[in-house]
Amino acid sequence: MPEIREKQHDDFEVFDKINQRYFSEIEHSVPHFQQTLFDLQNECYKLWKNTINANVQLQKELLGKSGFNFVLPKITQKIIDNVGAEIVKYRLACIKIAITTIESGTKNVKTWNDSANTFLDLNRKIIHSWFLPFMPKPDTEK
């Protein structure tokens, strides 16, 4: 019987080694992955901003050189301004919703993480109760 227990112990050392290597690699690579995603997001934002600004500048130049004296009516200017303000409000609302959702998810994961040992103990007791009828009883008459 001790040989079987020793063999099982060795088998689990292999799993422990694999788990340690796996999570060590994750802890090493995830920060770089996150930084890479942040850099990409930042470049996309700059591209978006530069494209919009360049197009507006181009339209100003072309309109100025064309000689047309095109003036937007005040009501149209007000509508454009209001639409712009609503777009900003909508974007801020979406960001708040996303942040709240992420924070809620983080809180749930933290709660689950904090409860992991409780779940482990509960599962241990359940499995023990399942195996109890099949386990050999110690010989107390000797």
Q: What percent of the chain has pLDDT over 70?
A: 92
Average pLDDT, the chain: 90
Q: Provide the domain count of the chain.
A: 2
The pTM for the full model equals 0.63
Whether residue 62 sits in one domain with residue 76: no
Asked if residue 63 lies in contact with residue 70, where contact means CB atoms within 8 angstroms, the answer is yes
Q: What is the pLDDT of residue 3?
A: 59
Q: What is the pLDDT of residue 2?
A: 54
For 34, 45, 51, 99, the CA distances from 40, given in Å and listed in that order, are 10, 9, 16, 20
Whether residue 44 sits in one domain with residue 58: yes
Whether residue 91 sits in one domain with residue 42: no
